[in-house]
Amino acid sequence: MKHRRSDFPPAVRKMVAARSGGVCELCGDEPAVHHHHRRLRHRAGPGDTHGVANGLHMCTRCHDQAHRDPKYATRMGVIVPSGFDPATEPVFLWSMRLLAHVPLLLGDDGSVTPAPVQVVA
């Protein structure tokens, strides 16, 4: 089955859902029901807008907030600016173990790795 332009392909949706465990990746509190494009589909740039690194599994509240407050969403890495590759841009996702948002890099293979720490002099 061919996916609509706005949808992630079924295999990508499955990988993003597996990564989230069915829980919102941003708040870690609510069931994830939306597949969100980090670099919005209408924005040009490197990387695949339908790749796993560009997808987040989110609850309705967090997904709505991302679109209502794009400055906040960009700071959190939930929205990636035009010209940037989602696979190289950190996103702050909720860690139940640390009870905090943690900067992570998402891979197109479904992997999640800690983002390098940037020290400001």
**β-pair partners for 106:** 112
Between 47 and 35, name the one with better pLDDT: 35
CA distance 26 to 29: 8
Label residue 3 by pLDDT band (50, 70, 90). very low
CA distance 91 to 32: 17
Q: What are phi and psi of 31, to 5 degrees?
A: -65, 135
Average pLDDT over residues 19-41: 94
Among 11, 33, 20, CA closest to 3: 11
**Sign (positive or negative) of CA dihedral 51, 55, 22, 109:** positive
65-106 pLDDT, tens digit each = 999 999 999 999 999 998 899 999 999 999 888 888 899 999
CA distance 117 to 14: 30
The structure's pTM equals 0.87
CA distance 76 to 79: 8
